[in-house]
Amino acid sequence: MTWKHPSSTVRKKFKVQRSAAKVMATVFWDAKGVIILDILPQGQCINAVLCCNPLDCLRNSIRRKKPGLLRRGIVLQHNNVTPHSANLTQQWLQRYSWEILPHSAQNPDLVTSDFHLFGPLKCHLGGMAFETKGDLVGESKNWFAHLDLDFFRVRIYSLLSR
């Protein structure tokens, strides 16, 4: 509440448009582009089971497209949120011998998807209005599909210096 003098001018109130609900996405990508873009169903919270499902999809996708990669090993980088550190997720990662890069909480620029993917995506989507969640997801997938391969390569190799 603001106290005003009776002769003060009245501030104009702007109508706020209702925006679409938030969309939670899990993205797996490498130097050649997006491998999997998984959208969390509306109204659900991420947990260990929902964390392992995209990992299964990723493993199956790699097994079909790049079988030699599974023999050489996978290095996965993710942050330290609860679903990533849950016993179920850790058991899944140990079963398939995937290496996890340690993540420092004091080093936010190492969260590559937040910094390198979602930042530019947010700039691209800025000012656009979407009628449905499907429209937003479709535009996001379209944007990822039309990115130059150098976009991904430069961002992955920048991790070496970090």
Q: How many CB atoms lie within 10 A of CB 51?
A: 20
For 74-111, b/e burial (b = at least 16 CB within 10 A) is: beeebeeeebbebeebeebbeeeebebeeeeeeeeebe
CA distance 107 to 103: 8
Average pLDDT of span 36-63: 82
DSSP letter string, 44-79 = ----HHHHHHHHHHHHHHHHHH-HHHHHH--EE---
Per domain, the residue ranges of the chain are 45-102, 104-162
Reading the block at residue 124, the tokens are: 């691209």
Residue 11 to residue 67: CA distance in whole angstroms = 64
Instruction: Sort residue 141 into left (φ over 0), alpha (ψ -120 to 50) or beta.
Output: alpha
Regarding predicted confidence, which is higher, 142 or 9? 142
0.85 exceeded by pTM: no
pLDDT, mean of residues 101-106: 66
Q: How does residue 150 score in pLDDT terms, banded at 50, 70 and 90?
A: very high
pLDDT band of residue 20 (cuts 50, 70, 90) is low
CA distance 148 to 162: 23
